Amino acid sequence: MVSSASLMRHLASASLMVALTWAAPVLADNDPAHALAEKFAGASVEERKAADAARRKAEEDEMLARARKEAAARAEAEKRRAVAAEEQARQARDLRQQEMEAAREAEAKRLAEKLKRAEEARRLKAAAAEKSRNQSAEGNLVGDAPISPPMALGRAGIEPVDAHDSRVTVLLVMEPGKKGIRRFNKTADPVLCQGAECFVSTGAATPARILTRSRALGTRNTFGKRAGACRRSLSCVFRGVKLSGAEPSIQPVDLKVLAHDRRAVRTVSGDASCRVITGRLSCERMIVAPGYRAWIVPESIAERAGAGALRAALARGLVAVDQREAALRN
């Protein structure tokens, strides 16, 4: 007799076999469902790939934008540093210019004071010499008339000069400087200084313009009108120069950009030997100093000579006319 437990095991096995037999066609009929599931699973993978690609691109774009921003910030900082450096350089140049200008002003004042003291000493010395000459002239008088020396043979007559007129015309011939730009540019921008004043030429026919030494040699004139009619010229006519002091002096100055070329100071006076001979101006006494030479023509004689004769004398290089030949011509 079969037990109930054994019977139950046989029934379970039979049921499982029947179920498997029935499920096989059902599973076979559901193959499209498996394909659809697999399709949806594949679509999810593609979306994840696309999402990853989009995320990477966004990260790259963000990094690129950040790099551009940093580059722009660096460029702006460099620009600010360049502007600051340029401003510092400009301020340094201005400071150097001011220091040089102050040094020139101080030098001009020092020189003017020195010349003033020298002129005062010369005035006292000249006054003593004049007193001695007057005493000597009084000893040469015969009755009421002085003894006059005879005129030298073959010399042309002396031009009359107004003793009360201290004005002269200075004919100046400069030698080109040997420093800085003058080593290559063989010319000059001459002005003529006397004590605390300087004269700027306006040409051979009109009086020179008078400026203080500080203005004539200062920045405004140096970068402005400079030497006037004698700009970029080695020769120059200075009309109507008033000689002041007991022993007046002249100092030609070649205007440059920073350090002017100050030539030697020389004591001068109107040359009584100057005369107009056959239409040509001639002077026997020449001022010769390092870097220049000059004639000091009394203004009354310069007026009689005229602008053309003054320019011609400069063109000849201040060469005196032969006096004996001139006397024979006259």
Q: What is the pLDDT of residues 50-62, one digit of tens each?
A: 888 889 999 999 9
Instruction: Please enumerate in sequence order all residues whose Cβ is within 8 A of that of 273, keeping only pairs 6 or more positions apart, or say none.
Output: 158, 283, 284, 285
Q: Within a 10 A sphere around the Cβ of 90, how many other Cβ atoms? A: 10
Nearest to 301, CA basis, from 178, 209, 193, 169: 169
Question: H or E element: which one contains 291?
Answer: none
Q: What is the pLDDT of residues 156-211, one digit of tens each?
A: 445 556 667 889 999 999 998 887 777 778 889 999 999 899 999 999 999 999 99
* Residue % of the chain over a pLDDT of 90: 42
Q: Are 296 and 270 in contact (CB under 8 A)?
A: yes
Task: Name the average pLDDT for the chain.
Answer: 79
The rounded distance, in Å, linking the Cα atoms of 308 and 281 is: 10
pLDDT given for residue 258 in this prediction: 77
Q: Is the pTM of this model over 0.85?
A: no
| Strand segments (E) across 17-124 | none
The residue whose two tokens read 């001068």 is 268
Q: Which of 11-15, 75-79, 107-111 has the lowest mean pLDDT?
A: 11-15
Nearest to 216, CA basis, from 199, 231, 229: 199
**Secondary structure letter of residue 207 according to DSSP:** B
